[in-house]
Amino acid sequence: MPSVPRRARRLMAGLVLANLAAGLLSQAASVAALAQRATTIRVFAASELVVALTFDAGADRGYTELILDTLAVKGVGASFGLTGQWAEANPDLVQRMAREGHHLINHSWSHRSFTGRSTGSAPLSAAERAEELRRTEELIRQLTGVELRPYFRPPYGDFDDSVLADLAANGYTLNIMWTIDTLGWTGLPTEEIIQRVLAAAEPGAIVLMHVGSQSQDAVALPGLIDQLRARGYRFATVRDLVEGRAGPESRYFPETGHWVGHGFLRYWERFGGLAVFGYPLTEEYQDPGTGLTTQWFERARFEWHPGAWPERNDVLLGRLGAEVVTEREGIGPFRPAQPVAGCTYFPQTGHNLCGGFRAYWERFGDLAVYGYPISEEFQEMNPDDGRVYTVQYFERARFEWHPGAWPERWDVLLGRLGAQLLVRRR
């Protein structure tokens, strides 16, 4: 074998190193590109019987109101994939979804296939995809204050690597597919829809349904919920499952059909439980008005304020008492009073706290739970039973005196302000 000159050997080594470096750079670029793609979710890893009900809304108004009514009655939270055009045509329904704590997902503006696979059309450009996402998110934000990112559901379920890269570039890092398609949109009868879901149900499953008038999903929904529950399943939104708010640190209340989890559950158990807060009336949701994670109870509204009060699980109570008497401020018993002998006077609000009401306030929560008194004691009819009781309003509660009802708590029961205010909001 002829010898290779030293200079040539150096040149060959340089070429080898250059090729190796180029290969490594190419691999690094591929890894970086992969890291910048959205993650596709078809089913969640779950050890318990939980499913996510999802509804796509991109055609007509259809049975949306019936679906929302059923979810409210059954106490189930769901995820809705909304196109911008549908939301623009049905702003009242979008606002109701957000108000009732459902999870909203970006389903594009016009329901055009991003790849063109299902429609036989050309793929959308990166700029067109970005515009489809942007217009929808801006409209939903304007209507509800809710941010759709990072959740996206592709029209027709069409996506490829380029779509996943474009989604991530626009802040949509989760591409939400499904485990079970009910095929209700094909006209499948109600009973077949239910059996189709029951046959394929598994822990962490995502069920795809539609709100349009061509689908029988709305009609099947009550029976589907009942039969899944009969098999031990409970329900969570896609967001709940992504954020881990549907885990084992949760408690289900069959009396109202809602779950309480994590910090809210620990607060509920530690600072009063059923006697003080009552049963949950909603799931956790992001209040579009405040931006706070919120949950309503019969007698309270829990709000999560990160970092505000670590020793109380960062939970603060909504000022329900103050909110319910807004129109009565400065009138009658809500007018600031003079100090009364034998009572505790609060100059912060100008009201007295006396007798059993004071004993209850001091023993079962005081300022941290109930806030300051904002009225004197007076007689008022209870809207729940139509009877007249001695009551007193506080920033976050209404005390009612029920003679003989609960001696160990000075015969004090709390008014159901949460239930009353929630009805007004709906």
Can you spell out the DSSP letters for 222-281?
A: HHHHHHHHHTT-EE--HHHHHHTTTSSSEEEETTTTEEEEHHHHHHHHHTTHHHHH-SB-
Q: Does some domain include residue 11?
A: no
- Both 203 and 177 in one domain: the answer is yes
> According to the model, what pLDDT value does residue 306 have?
79
Q: Does some domain include residue 263?
A: yes
- Both 202 and 292 in one domain: the answer is no
CATH number at residue 154: 3.20.20.370
- Both 280 and 212 in one domain: the answer is no
DSSP β-ladder status, 250-253 and 301-304: unpaired
> According to the model, what pLDDT value does residue 328 have?
86
Q: Does some domain include residue 21?
A: no
- Both 308 and 419 in one domain: the answer is no
| C-alpha to C-alpha distance for 245 and 236, rounded to whole angstroms | 9
Q: Does some domain include residue 393?
A: yes
- Both 360 and 303 in one domain: the answer is no
- Both 169 and 121 in one domain: the answer is yes
- Both 161 and 308 in one domain: the answer is no
User: How confident is the chain (426 residues) per 10-residue block, as mean pLDDT?
Assistant: 41 42 40 62 86 95 94 90 97 93 95 95 96 97 93 96 94 95 93 96 96 94 93 90 65 80 82 90 82 90 84 86 87 95 97 96 91 96 90 96 89 93 76
- Both 300 and 255 in one domain: the answer is yes
SS3 for 180? strand
Asked if residue 324 lies in contact with residue 420, where contact means CB atoms within 8 angstroms, the answer is yes
- Both 351 and 235 in one domain: the answer is no
Count: domains in the chain: 3
What is the phi/psi pair of residue 44, to 5°?
-95, 145
- Both 261 and 328 in one domain: the answer is no
Q: Does some domain include residue 7?
A: no
The domain boundary residue, chosen from 196, 226, 243: 243
- Contacts for 298 with CB less than 8 Å, ≥ 6 apart: 277, 278, 279, 281, 416, 418, 419
Predicted TM-score (pTM) above 0.75 = no
Cα dihedral value 38, 42, 46, 52, nearest 10: 110
Asked if residue 412 lies in contact with residue 401, where contact means CB atoms within 8 angstroms, the answer is yes
How many residues make up the chain in this entry?
A: 426
Asked if residue 44 lies in contact with residue 241, where contact means CB atoms within 8 angstroms, the answer is yes
Q: Does some domain include residue 30?
A: no
- Both 94 and 116 in one domain: the answer is yes
Asked if residue 317 lies in contact with residue 303, where contact means CB atoms within 8 angstroms, the answer is yes
- Both 304 and 182 in one domain: the answer is no
- The helix-helix angle for 91-99 and 126-144 (nearest 10°) equals 70
User: Distance of alpha carbon 10 from its chain centroid, rounded?
Assistant: 64
The domain boundary residue, chosen from 224, 243, 262: 243
What is the phi/psi pair of residue 22, to 5°?
-65, -40
Q: Does some domain include residue 20?
A: no
The domain boundary residue, chosen from 181, 215, 243: 243
What is the extent of the structural domain holding 367?
A: 322-425
Tokens of 191: 């009973």
Q: Does some domain include residue 228?
A: yes
For 65-119, the three-class secondary structure string (H helix, E strand, C coil) is HHHHHHHHHHCCCCEEEECHHHHHHCHHHHHHHHHCCCEEEECCCCCCCCCCCCC
